[in-house]
Structure 1
Amino acid sequence: MNIQKLPWAGIRIETGDITILVDPITRILEEFGGAREPMYPLGSFGKADAVLITHLHEDHFDPVAIIEAYGSAIPVYLPAGMEDATRAVGLTNVNGVTVGSSFELGGDVRVTALPSVDGLGDMQVAWVVEGAGHKVIHCGDTLWHGYWWNIAQHYGPFDAAFLPVNGAVLELPGMIPSGQPICLTPEQAVAATAVLGATTLVPIHYETMNYPPIYNETPNIATRLAAASGGKVNIRLIKTMETITL
């Protein structure tokens, strides 16, 4: 299984003859300051057989880019209940998946939707992808929750966990500020990796966006990841375009 990092929170998984994109995007909206790293057309990453979307926030779902690169009929999988909204933006092969459900994508590739908790209360799932004797989990932009132990017991262990680490605090117009992170902090991501029984934490969802006071990324992410791991959790920091092999 080969996994390539896409910008922000996206990854590209190659297992056997199947290639899957998770949360691929090509832009960060200007209302959040735009992207602080290079963005690329999705076609730059090669072919895709299916796209998995954890949730419909615009920093995780880029329908225009998906259609431009792969056509409107590429299979797109997302949390059940979001199908109509996804078809409304031009995608035609839309598949809603309920939490706990699995499906196959040819060969021995199996995908499962599991619980994930969105920091703004919107519908979200985590995706588990299994193939070629390996298993990884991508948790979107989840915050800390109580499902980790159940996931570990029934679906783990994992070769790698792709988890957000930037502990972003939002101050959106019309919302009372909480001062609380809407996704995992570095310390929480390390703890989640340990509970999940994942061999490696691959951080996602950091460095690309920071636009105070609206979007505030937590500081010193790499240093805090290393300190929290204490050498007990393997952390693999990879840059966009870089590929790792499991």
Structure 2
Amino acid sequence: MRKFFKVALWVFIILLILAGGIAYHVNEQLGSINSLDERNAKYAGLSYYSVETGEFISPEKLPFYPEKTTGGDPGFARFLKTSPYAPAHPFPKNKLSKSDFSEPPSDFAIYWLGHSTVILELDGKRILFDPVFKNAGPLPIITRRYDDSPLQRKEIPEIDLVILTHDHYDHLETATIKYLADKDIHFIVPLEVGARLEGWGVPKENIAELGWDQETTFDSIIITALPGIHYSGRSNSDRNQTLWASYAIKGKDKNIFSSGDTGYGKHLKEIGDQYGPFDMAFVEIDGWNNGWPLTHLFPDQVIQLCKDVNTKMMLPTHWGTFDLALHPWNESIQMVTDKAEENDIELVTPVMGEKVIPGVTPTSNWWETAYGKSEKTSSR
């Protein structure tokens, strides 16, 4: 009996240590936020901030219709499983290392690295958007990628500027921010996201926080944060306590729009009228569901966004990496491609890691070539 209790005690101690380690890791992934009093003192006059709740306010309320949810059970447990909607085999990709990037950066070029992670070279500067190189959750087993990133974190080239659209795990990765923190990189983020970055080691002086319609300048490039219909947060207790944003990025000769995550709304036409026309738009195309109609763009709304913001060229983002909305991995890109052809919108669709000069470098419907247009779900 004494031996049994001794073994049980050791098992308990080991489990306690494991639980403590997991709790510490998860807490580190969450990051820091400022207190309600601090937020109220700074943002009381903003039309899109509530002092009563301490939350930023979306231009339109995000409804949830569980009875209209399509594609299966939307419960959290699905994020722990291998997605039944994943591709059957790894994607074609162009694997990258630091030596594959030119010095100095190009005047205009892009690399799509999967989901919303994009490297934009503009006016000889290198800008990294929403850097996520592993999975999209606070633990490695949560929301796993379909396939590896074409660029590993240790091979990230010299970066001048990081632009973050919001703090969801599929857009803001703790380990990557920590890796970049001591490299004298400038960060542009929506309001209150800066506190998370500071907690992960980014110097405060390297962070520019922007509210909607506020701008900052980095050499020849003007970056303006713009509205979106979405939400923020990294846990159940911090929803909407940080802001989210789309961006206009204006260089010497090129004007770029990055949609971030957004539902469709009148804000897009207003952005086009005030900040367009755009030479190129990075637009999220995946993650839509009838059960949450304003969280992301439906395929037809992707095309309408292009018309509203006045762009004829679009890089589809927010697809091909994570199962976020219970539909086959290639459904969104195929629907958007078909609708873009009907509406004279030029798509730029590189394989992951491929360098392209929009309007110059031809791209293809590689998902059709590699998998066939009819493939819908994984065979696993």
Instruction: Give yes or no for TM over 0.5.
Output: yes
Is 1:87 the counterpart of 2:198 in the alignment? yes
- Mind listing any 5+ residue stretches in structure 1 that lack a counterpart? 171-177
Q: What is the alpha-carbon distance in structure 1 between the residues aligned to residue 322 and residue 112 of structure 2?
A: 16
Q: Which residue of structure 1 lines up, in the alignment, with residue 215 of structure 2?
A: 102
Q: Contact (CA 8 Å) 2:246, 2:261: kept in 1 or not?
A: no
State the Cα deviation string for residues 204-236 of structure 1 (Å, max 9, x = none): 00121116xxx4246622331133220421122
| Distance apart, 1:197 and its partner CA | 0.7
Is 1:33 the counterpart of 2:107 in the alignment? no
- Kindly provide the amino acid, as one letter, of the partner of residue 157 in structure 1: P
Q: Contact (CA 8 Å) 1:101, 1:112: kept in 2 or not?
A: yes
Is 1:10 the counterpart of 2:108 in the alignment? no
Q: What is the alpha-carbon distance in structure 2 between the residues aligned to residue 32 and residue 168 of structure 1?
A: 20
Q: Which residue of structure 2 lines up, in the alignment, with residue 133 of structure 1?
A: 253
Q: What is the alpha-carbon distance in structure 1 between the residues aligned to residue 175 and residue 182 of structure 2?
A: 10
TM-score by length of 2: 0.57
Specify whether residues 185 and 37 from structure 1 end up closer, same or farther in structure 2 by C-alpha distance, changes over 3 A only. Answer: farther
SS at the partner of 2:226? strand
| Distance apart, 1:12 and its partner CA | 0.9
Is 1:78 the counterpart of 2:198 in the alignment? no
* Aligned match for 1:124, one of 217, 230, 244: 244
SS at the partner of 2:312? strand
SS at the partner of 1:132? coil
Q: What is the alpha-carbon distance in structure 2 between the residues aligned to residue 164 and residue 84 of structure 1?
A: 26
Q: What is the alpha-carbon distance in structure 1 between the residues aligned to residue 292 and residue 225 of structure 2?
A: 30
Q: Which residue of structure 1 lines up, in the alignment, with residue 298 of structure 2?
A: 185
Is 1:115 the counterpart of 2:222 in the alignment? no
* Aligned match for 1:46, one of 125, 137, 157: 157
Share of identical aligned residues, percent? 18
Q: Contact (CA 8 Å) 2:229, 2:263: kept in 1 or not?
A: yes
Q: Which residue of structure 1 lines up, in the alignment, with residue 311 of structure 2?
A: 198
- Kindly provide the amino acid, as one letter, of the partner of residue 135 in structure 1: N
- Kindly provide the amino acid, as one letter, of the partner of residue 260 in structure 2: G
| Distance apart, 1:244 and its partner CA | 2.1
Q: Which residue of structure 2 lines up, in the alignment, with residue 56 of structure 1?
A: 167
Q: What is the alpha-carbon distance in structure 2 between the residues aligned to residue 169 and residue 152 of structure 1?
A: 26
Q: Which moved more, 1:232-241 or 1:201-210?
A: 232-241
- Kindly provide the amino acid, as one letter, of the partner of residue 86 in structure 1: L
* Aligned match for 2:286, one of 148, 160, 166: 166
Q: Larger radius of gyration, structure 1 or 2?
A: 2
Q: Contact (CA 8 Å) 1:119, 1:143: kept in 2 or not?
A: no
* Aligned match for 1:144, one of 250, 261, 264: 264
| Distance apart, 1:89 and its partner CA | 2.4
Superposition CA RMSD, Å: 2.3
| Distance apart, 1:72 and its partner CA | 6.0
Q: What is the alpha-carbon distance in structure 2 between the residues aligned to residue 71 and residue 124 of structure 1?
A: 25
Q: Which residue of structure 1 lines up, in the alignment, with residue 353 of structure 2?
A: 241
Q: What is the alpha-carbon distance in structure 2 between the residues aligned to residue 144 and residue 186 of structure 1?
A: 11
Q: What is the alpha-carbon distance in structure 1 between the residues aligned to residue 318 and residue 230 of structure 2?
A: 13
SS at the partner of 2:265? coil
- Kindly provide the amino acid, as one letter, of the partner of residue 208 in structure 1: T
Specify whether residues 49 and 43 from structure 1 end up closer, same or farther in structure 2 by C-alpha distance, changes over 3 A only. Answer: farther
Q: Which residue of structure 1 lines up, in the alignment, with residue 337 of structure 2?
A: 226
SS at the partner of 2:279? strand
Q: Which moved more, 1:234-243 or 1:150-159?
A: 234-243
Q: What is the alpha-carbon distance in structure 2 between the residues aligned to residue 88 and residue 233 of structure 1?
A: 42
Q: What is the alpha-carbon distance in structure 2 between the residues aligned to residue 238 and residue 4 of structure 1?
A: 8
Q: What is the alpha-carbon distance in structure 1 between the residues aligned to residue 154 and residue 247 of structure 2?
A: 22
Q: What is the alpha-carbon distance in structure 2 between the residues aligned to residue 179 and residue 18 of structure 1?
A: 37
| Distance apart, 1:45 and its partner CA | 4.1
| Distance apart, 1:69 and its partner CA | 4.3
Q: What is the alpha-carbon distance in structure 2 between the residues aligned to residue 183 and residue 90 of structure 1?
A: 31
Q: What is the alpha-carbon distance in structure 2 between the residues aligned to residue 110 and residue 48 of structure 1?
A: 17
Q: What is the alpha-carbon distance in structure 2 between the residues aligned to residue 241 and residue 151 of structure 1?
A: 30
Q: What are the residue-to-residue correspondences of 1:212-223 with 2, within 5 Å?
A: 215-217=325-327, 220-223=331-334
SS at the partner of 1:216? coil
- Mind listing any 5+ residue stretches in structure 2 that lack a counterpart? 1-107, 233-238, 359-380
| Distance apart, 1:124 and its partner CA | 0.8
